[in-house]
Amino acid sequence: MSLEEQERIIIPDENGEEHLFEVLFKFDVDETGYSYITLTPAEQQEAEEVEVYAFRYEQEEYDSEDDIKLFPIESDEEWEIVEEMLHTLTDENEN
């Protein structure tokens, strides 16, 4: 995975095809001790309804700024925390 500028990220799928996503938010959650990123497919930016994907991510200090590792969010508790943060950040951006 690599970041293009700070607003976009390229993620290869299981077939090795690369897909471009827009970064919506990056945030840390003290309760879990992890960092999270929310993304939407770049081609859906102008659509009325867009899919939003959320991942836990890690960026090692020795990695380049363009390399991050994405991990699926697996627990219901973690999903609830991420959804709450996403709603909070979305509300703040609309005001």
pLDDT by 10s per residue, the chain, length 95: 444 445 788 898 899 999 999 998 899 999 889 999 999 998 876 667 788 899 999 887 665 556 788 999 989 999 999 999 888 887 876 66
> Could you count the other beta carbons within 10 Å of the beta carbon of residue 10?
14
Could you tell me whether strands 2-4 and 69-71 are parallel, antiparallel, or unpaired per DSSP bridges? unpaired
Q: What domain count does the chain have?
A: 1
Long-range interactions of 62-65: CB distance < 8 A, separation 24+: 65/3
Host domain of residue 84: 2-94
Give pTM, 2 decimals.
Answer: 0.78
In angstroms, how far is the first alpha carbon of the chain from the final one? 32
Cβ atoms of residues 24 and 88 within 8 Å? no
